[in-house]
Each structure stands twice: as structure tokens, then as C-alpha cells.
Amino acid sequence: MTTDEIEKLIKNGLPDASVDVRDPMNDRTHFEATVLSPSFKGKTRVQQHKMVYAALGDSFDGPLHALALKTGVPN
């Protein structure tokens, strides 16, 4: 999986989000993402992460091993 593919999936599910996906170890397995979206407003962190996971669908059952996630509402 590539950072572009992950970014695309998240953006499909959360069209108003700004998404930054990184592959810090360059192994295409352990990714980091920062997702900022107005739709996170009033949501708990658990709810925000669940919205991102929903966008990623069943990727975690296959090509996506690990994604360190930071979510928030844009300033």
C-alpha cells in the first residue's frame, strides 16, 4: 500500500478533510497520518478515529498493518 492510496481512501470517506499520510520507515507497512476535518467537531477522539477507520474499510485485514493516527478539527 502507498501513502497516496491511503490518502485517497480517507479523502473518499471524509471529503472535507485535509489528509497527510507518511511512511516514516519507508516500508509501506507502518504509516502515520494526520487528518483534520471540520466534521470532527464535537466528536470524541474515539469517534474521530472510527470515522477514519470507516473510510479505510477492510484495509486493515489486508495490506495495511499499522497506522499511527492523529485527528483534529482545523484551526
Partner 1 sequence: MSLSDAMKERLTNDVKNNNVVLYMKGTKDFPMCGFSARAAQVLKAAKVDFADFNILDDNDLRLGLKEFSEWPTFPQCYIKGEFIGGSDILLEMYESGELQEMLKDLQKA
Least CB distance to partner 1 at residue 61 (A): 8
Pick the closer one to partner 1 by CB: 68 or 73.
Answer: 68
What string of DSSP letters covers 4-73? HHHHHHHHHH-TT-EEEEE-TTSSSSEEEEEEE-GGGTT--HHHHHHHHHHHHGGGGGTT--EEEEEEE-
* Contact track, partner 1, 45-74, x by CB under 8 A: xx--xx--x--x---xx----xxxxx----
Least CB distance to partner 1 at residue 45 (A): 5
